Every structure is written in C-alpha cells, then in structure tokens.
Chain A
Amino acid sequence: MNTIPRVVLRLASVLILASTPALTFAAEENLFDEYRQMMADDNPAQLAEMQGEEYWKTAGGPKKQTLQGCDLGLGPGKTQGAYAVLPRFFADAGRVMDLETRLIWCMTTIQGRDPAELSGKAFSKQGQPTTDLEGLTTWIAGQSRDRVLAVPVDQPQVRAAFEEGKRLFFYRAGPYDFSCASCHSQSGKRIRLTSLPNLTTHDGAVSAYTTWPTYRVSQGAARTMQWRMVDCARQQRLPELIVGSPVTVSLLTYLAASANGGKMAAPGLKR
C-alpha cells in the first residue's frame, strides 16, 4: 500500500508535564501554553460542541420540541454572538440570567423537562458522557468566538446583579473564612502550581472569563462557568451552590461585566 506516510497520535502529554516536578514553574507554564497551542485546532471540547448543536436542533423532552424557539437575548433561535451579551435581563422570566440558567429555563418551558433534574445533574462525572447542558453551553459559547464581550450593564437589573455579585465576591464565610477574593484578588499568585487570575482587575477577569467553557484535560470533560462557581464554593467549604441560582447569576454577572471589552476565545483548554 502506498499509504500512511504519517500517523500522528497525540496522547495525554499533559501527564508528562505533571510528572516533571524538577522544572521551574515558569517553564512548566510555557510548556502548557505550547501544548495548548498544539491542541488548538483539535480541542476535544469540539465533541461537546457537536453534541450541543445536535441537541439544539433535535426535538426532545416531553413536549417533543427543539430549542430553536429559545430566545437567548438576541431573538428566538439566534445563537451567533449571544454568549458575548450574557448575562442579561429577561422580561419573560423576570430575572437576570446567564447562558446556562437561560438554557435550563428554555429546556423547561419549551421542552417540558424537569428543572430540578437539569440543575441537579448539570455536570458530567468522570468518565460519563457530556450532559445536554454542557454540550449546549460549549457550542453556544463557541458561537461567540472572537466577539467582544458586551454585557448590558446599562440594564438596571444587570447593574443590580453586578453590584450584588461584587458584594458576594468578597463575602467571607464557612470554617475556612474563605471568599472568592481569598484566592482571586491578588495578581501574579498561584495555588500550588496553578496560576490564579486576579478577578478584581480587568485583565484578570478577561483572561478567566473569555476562555470558559473549557476542556479540562485532567478531568477529560468540557467544563462551564456554572461548574466553576459550584466547584469553587465546594472548595470554599460552603454548602452546595445550586446551579442557576441567583448567587451564581450575580457572581457571573460581576465576572462577565468586569471582562467587558475582552474578546471571547471559548471553548478553551486547561489543565
């Protein structure tokens, strides 16, 4: 056979990174940047995107409806650029919503699915397939790639959510006295070997917010901003933060609006 001149298999080279403790931190960060660049065209988050796009266009739920009638803020069925202008106020729901909260609302009202189940089983566990919500979120965020983030802070409800999110960001509680700010209010710091973005600065907020949803190589899964909020609360030693709850929306409004002007680059690729 005059075939197969070249076969490239890219294996989990991140494991190799993790097993070289003698490298300096800076060198290791650069190595991961290199890995990220190498994988840029082939980010496994694309698998989640494919699943999400298919879900969006396929009739489902007890009411056998597609989500193409779902209004993400730019009109029913419009996904292009929608993520870059979320969270926003939705008059039909009477509250500010981020993408995931809005998707749960659409899946509930349009498709008749159970909101408690959608919120309670929003994220895939290790080795489990991508959930519908993860797929949809990753795909729709990808439809805003290269868009400039413009959360409508001129909406008074969004402004109120922003102020509440800012207050919550500094809210210390629990046996460890942690707030979001405990880890995310200083620049150039890291926890163990992981860089911590300073979310109180514009640059820090941009670098964090514009690269989520992201494929987490260590978890083999596409992870979303709601997942990030819920898992940070767990690490803060707080009770379980409910997916789509007002606290998640306020925190995401604060974070997203702080990153306004940044260019969306999701889905990203992270350790």
Chain B
Amino acid sequence: MFRRWTCVMAATLGVAFVVPLQAEGVADSFRAKGQAKLDRLDQTDMQRICSGPVGMTVPDDVRARLQKTATDSVKFPAADRFLGKWEAGQKIAQTGTGMQSSDDPAVPSGGNCYACHQMAPTEMSYGTLGPSLAGYGKQRGQSEAMLKYTWTRIWNPQAHMPCSHMPRFGDAGILTEEQIRDVMAFLFDPASPVNK
C-alpha cells in the first residue's frame, strides 16, 4: 500500500534496480492474526492527516472538516439516558484488553481509561498521557450540556480536538452504548469513587 509505484516506475523505465525497503510495502511486513486482519493497516482520512511528526500543523479548513466528520459520527443514547452503573464503569476503566490479536473477540473490550487518566483518587496505578479526571462529576455537575459534551469526548474525541491521541471509543466500536453509559456513570455519579 505504500510507494509501490516506486517499484513500478523503475521497472517501466527499465532501470537496473534493487528493491528498496520502502517499495516492499507495509502490509508485507504483517500477517493477519486472530481478529486483527490486514485491513487494519489501511488508514482512514483522519488517520492519514494525523500521522505527521511532533509539532505538525493541520490547515484550518482540514481541521474544520475533521471536526465536522467527527461531530456527525456521534450517536447520543436513546431517551437521553446518559448514565448507567458506575460499578460496571469502574471495571471497564480498569480493563486493558480488547481488539488485540491476542484477545478473544467474544469478550467485550475494556476502556483502559486508567492507562492514561487519573480517575478515582484511591487508585494509585494511573497513567499521565491524558488529563486527570479525579472529581470529574463533582466539579462539573450533570447539566445536559455537560453530559452531551462528555459523551461526545468518549464517542469521538476528534469532535473537540482533531488529531487527539485518544481512541474513538464509540465511533470505532470499541465500547458499546451500554458500556459508555457505565463509564459516564463512573465519571458523574456522586456515589462513584471518582467523586469521593
């Protein structure tokens, strides 16, 4: 899928030619395993645009396009039922498996929120790639705007922050609507350890 044309062009010109590394293509370096098939190497429009080096800039019009596509992808829950059970949400936040070639596709994916975010202040094993979410609901309340904003951030973070490093948990089908409701409850429920 990459630069195969280099090879084709050189052959067409009849140039004596050692196959350069780039021409062999990325897909040739992988093999399908379990649920991870080779089509996972194909980039979406967003993935291609967001693959620049550190400090890359995205032109305003492209940025706006990415943001619109992401915003349009968000599906809000039926009957505005944003919050499920925080206990289930806590488990999802702690679980790091899901969609790896080594994972059983019949087992629901985790959200692995703790890999990058502090959440319940009592949990010491948290990552720092994302901002701390300790006290999330306590600080923000449960207005409809806040619930919708947070749902959007989980469903497709690119709606607010194009090229965000965070996975699109709803849009990419990593978590189900029910699971996202549970994670929302973990963030917002006053009884949740996140708000203690």
Do chains A and B directly touch (beta carbons under 8 Å) in the complex?
A: yes
Q: Which residues of chain B have C-beta atoms less than 8 A from A170's C-beta?
A: 51-53
CA distance A250 to B38 in the complex (A): 19
Q: Are B38 and A239 in contact (CB under 8 A)?
A: yes
Q: Are B33 and A189 in contact (CB under 8 A)?
A: no
Q: Are A191 and B41 in contact (CB under 8 A)?
A: no
Given contacts A168-B26, A176-B167, A177-B168, contact A250 B100 (CB under 8 A): no
Q: Which residues of chain B have C-beta atoms less than 8 A from A185's C-beta?
A: 54
Which one of B58-66, B125-133, B146-154, B185-193 contacts A? B125-133
Q: Which residues of chain A have C-beta atoms less than 8 A from B102's C-beta?
A: 234
Interface size on B, residues (CB 8 A): 47
Q: Are B40 and A238 in contact (CB under 8 A)?
A: yes
Which one of B14-22, B84-92, B176-184 contacts A? B14-22
Q: Which residues of chain B have C-beta atoms less than 8 A from A164's C-beta?
A: 21-22
A47 at the interface (CB under 8 A from B): no
Q: Which residues of chain A have C-beta atoms less than 8 A from B124's C-beta?
A: 21-23, 25, 193
B134 at the interface (CB under 8 A from A): no
Q: Are B21 and A240 in contact (CB under 8 A)?
A: no
Q: Once A and B bind, how many residue pairs between them come within 8 Å at the CB atom?
A: 136
B36 at the interface (CB under 8 A from A): yes
The listed residue (A96, A242, A250) touching B31 by CB distance below 8 A is A242
B116 at the interface (CB under 8 A from A): yes
B50 at the interface (CB under 8 A from A): yes
Q: Are B40 and A190 in contact (CB under 8 A)?
A: no
Q: Which residues of chain B have C-beta atoms less than 8 A from A208's C-beta?
A: none
Q: Which residues of chain A have C-beta atoms less than 8 A from B53's C-beta?
A: 166, 170, 181, 200
CA distance A181 to B51 in the complex (A): 9
The listed residue (B24, B33, B38, B115) touching A192 by CB distance below 8 A is B115
CA distance A171 to B53 in the complex (A): 9
* Residues 40-54 (chain B) with a chain A CB within 8 angstroms: 40-43, 46-48, 50-54
Q: Which residues of chain B have C-beta atoms less than 8 A from A191's C-beta?
A: 115-116, 127, 129
**Interface 0/1 of A227-239, CB less than 8 Å to B:** 0000001110111
Q: Are B47 and A173 in contact (CB under 8 A)?
A: yes
B114 at the interface (CB under 8 A from A): yes
Q: Are A234 and B101 in contact (CB under 8 A)?
A: yes
A to B CB contacts below 8 Å, 29 in the list: A23-B124, A96-B21, A166-B53, A170-B51, A171-B43, A171-B51, A172-B43, A172-B51, A175-B40, A175-B174, A177-B50, A182-B165, A189-B128, A189-B129, A191-B116, A192-B114, A234-B102, A237-B36, A237-B40, A238-B40, A240-B31, A240-B36, A241-B29, A242-B30, A242-B31, A245-B28, A247-B26, A248-B29, A250-B21
Other A-B pairs, 19, CB within 8 Å; known A190-B127, A239-B37: A25-B124, A94-B19, A96-B21, A160-B20, A170-B52, A171-B43, A173-B43, A173-B47, A175-B40, A175-B167, A188-B128, A191-B116, A192-B114, A237-B99, A238-B30, A239-B31, A245-B29, A246-B28, A247-B29
